[in-house]
Structure 1
Amino acid sequence: MLKLKPGQLISENSLCTRYNVSRTPIRSALSRLAGVGLVDIVPKSGSRVSMINMEIVKQIIYERFALESMVLKDFIAIATESDIKKIEKSVIKLTKSYENTKNFKPDKFKETDLSMHELWYKKTGHTYLWEQIRKSDSNYTRFCMLDMLECKNYEQVILEHKQMYEMIKNRDTSKIEEIVKKHLYGGVERVNAALSNKFDEMFIAY
C-alpha cells in the first residue's frame, strides 16, 4: 500500500502492458477499487489514486479512542497473569522486530502492533468490534501506513506499547485515556508536522 501515492494519476496503458491484459479487466479492477474508496474515476479524464480525507481519519480516530479506552479498562479488570504475559511477549516481539534491521519489514511490524490490541478485544469478548477495526475505512488505513512508512514512527509505537503494558501489569486504569489518546492521535501530530511540504498533495483540502 502507498506504492502509488494519493492523488497520483493511473495509466491504463501502463497497467495493460505490465499485466499483459486488455483494458476490460483493468477497468473492472479500477471500478472495484473505486468502490472501496481507493481510486477516483473521472469521466473522460482517467483515474487517479484517491486523496486521503483527513476529516474522516480524525473521526475514526475519535471513535477508536472512545472504544479502545473502554475495552482496555475491561481487559485490565479481568486479565489473568497468563494474559499479561502474552502482552509482555507481544511488546518484546515488537521491539525485537525493529532492532533486527537486516530483516525488518514494516508490514510485519504493523501486524505485531495490532496483535497486542487484538488480545484485549478478544479477551473481553469484542471480536466483532476488532474485525470492524481491521476493515477500517481506506482513508484511515492509508493514513496509518503513511505515518509508519514516511514519518518512521517505529520507536514511538514501541514506547507507547511498553507504557500500555506497564499500565496493564500494574492494573492502573487512571492513565488509560492519556496513553491511548497519545497512541492513537500521535500520527495526526506527526503527519501535520510534515503537511506543509511533502504530504500536502495527498490530502483533501478543507
Structure 2
Amino acid sequence: MDTGLSVDEIYQILEGEIVSLEIKPGEMLSENTLCKRFSISRTPVRSALQRLEQNRFVQIIPHKGTIVTPINLHIANQLIYQRVAVESMVFRDFVKVCTPPEAEQARYRLRMLEEAGAKRHEPGPFDINDFLHRDLAMHEIWFRSTDKMYLWEQLIKPDADYSRFIRLDIVGARNVPDVLENHQEMMQIIDTKNLDAIEPLMMQHLYGGIRRLGGKIFSDEYREYFE
C-alpha cells in the first residue's frame, strides 16, 4: 500500500540517516528494500536517490546499485576553513556590539549545552543530535544578532562530508570536554570583549575534530569511512 510519502520526505529521511551515520559510508541502498520500507513505488524512491547523488551522499553505479559515498576529508577540511573565516568575523562583530540581554542569552545557551554534555555520564547512549543542536544554538546567536542568518543557514546546511565528519567526532561523546571548554571561552570573550582571542579560539574549536580523530581516520575502525 502506498504511504503517500513525497520524494522530498523520502529524501529527508535518507539524508538524515546518512548524515547521522545510521547508514554508514560504503553501505548499499537497494531500491527494492526502500520500496518495501516506505510502502511506495519505485519512481519516487529512484528520484530521491538521484537527488542524494546530486548532493554527493550516494553514488548510483549502473548495473550494480546505489552506494553511500565515503567522506571526502579534503572537502571537509575546506569547509572547516570557510567556517573559521566567516564565524571569526561574525563573532567579532557580535562581541563589539553585544548588549547585556544578548550576553545573557548566550550564557543561557551555554548552560543548556553544559546540561546536555553532563548526560554523557548517564547510563544509555549519548544523544549526539541533542548535543549538536545545543552547540549550534549558541553559535546562531551571533549570526542572528548581526543579521547574518543567510550565512548561518548556508554554513549549517547538511553536507555529505562536513556534516558526517562532525558526527563522527561526537561518537562516544569524545569531543564533549573540548567543546564545553571552547564555549566557556567564547563566553569569556563576550564578557571581556577580548577581540584578539577570537580567531585562535575559532581555529581551535572548529579544527578540533581533525585534532581529536587524528590517526583514527586512517585506522581499521574508520578507514572505509573516508576516501
One-letter identity of the residue aligned with 1:197: D
Corresponding residue to 2:180 among 158, 171, 177: 158
Q: Mark the runs of 5 or more structure 1 residues left unpaired by the alignment.
A: none
Partner of 1:124: 146
TM-score, normalised by the number of residues in structure 1: 0.91
Q: In structure 2, do the counterparts of structure 1 residues 42 and 151 end up closer, same or farther at CA, with 3 Å as the change threshold?
A: farther
Which position in structure 2 is the counterpart of 1:190?
A: 212
Give 1:72-87 correspondences, 5 Å limit. 72-87=91-106
Equivalent pair of 2:128/2:173 in contact (CA under 8 Å): no
SS state at 1:13 partner: helix
Cα shift at 1:108: 1.5
Equivalent of 2:76 in 31, 35, 57: 57
In the alignment, structure 2 segments of 5+ residues that lack a partner are: 1-19
> Partners in 2 of 1:137 and 1:56 — Cα distance?
10
* Alignment correspondent of 1:42: 61
CA displacement at 1:14 relative to structure 2? 2.5
What CA distance in whole angstroms lies between the structure 2 residues aligned with 1:105 and 1:150? 10
Aligned-pair CA distance for 1:151: 6.2
Distance 1:24 1:194 in 2: 40
Q: Distance in 1 between matches of 2:174 and 2:59?
A: 28
Q: Answer yes or no: is the 8 Å Cα contact 1:151–1:190 preserved in 2.
A: no
The equivalent of 1:92 in structure 2 is 111
Query: How many residues align structurally?
Result: 204
Task: Give me the TM-score of the superposition, normalised by structure 2.
Answer: 0.83
Amino acid in structure 1 at the alignment position of 2:207? Y
Using the TM superposition, give the Cα deviation of residue 139 of structure 1 relative to its aligned residue in structure 2, in angstroms: 1.2
Structure 2 residue aligned with 1:173, among 176, 195, 200? Answer: 195
Q: Quick one: distance in 1 between partners of 2:206 and 2:158?
A: 14
Identical positions, percent: 38
In the alignment, the residues of structure 2 paired with residue 25 and residue 129 of structure 1 have an alpha-carbon distance, to the nearest angstrom, of 32
CA distance in 1 between counterparts of 2:181 and 2:99 reads 23
Contact 1:69 1:176 in 2 (8 A): yes
Where do 1:16-35 residues align within 5 Å? 16-35=35-54
Following TM superposition, where does structure 1 have runs of at least 4 consecutive aligned residues deviating by more than 4 angstroms? Answer: none
Q: Deviations over 1:150-200 (max 9, x none)?
A: 563122211111111111111111211111101000111222331122111
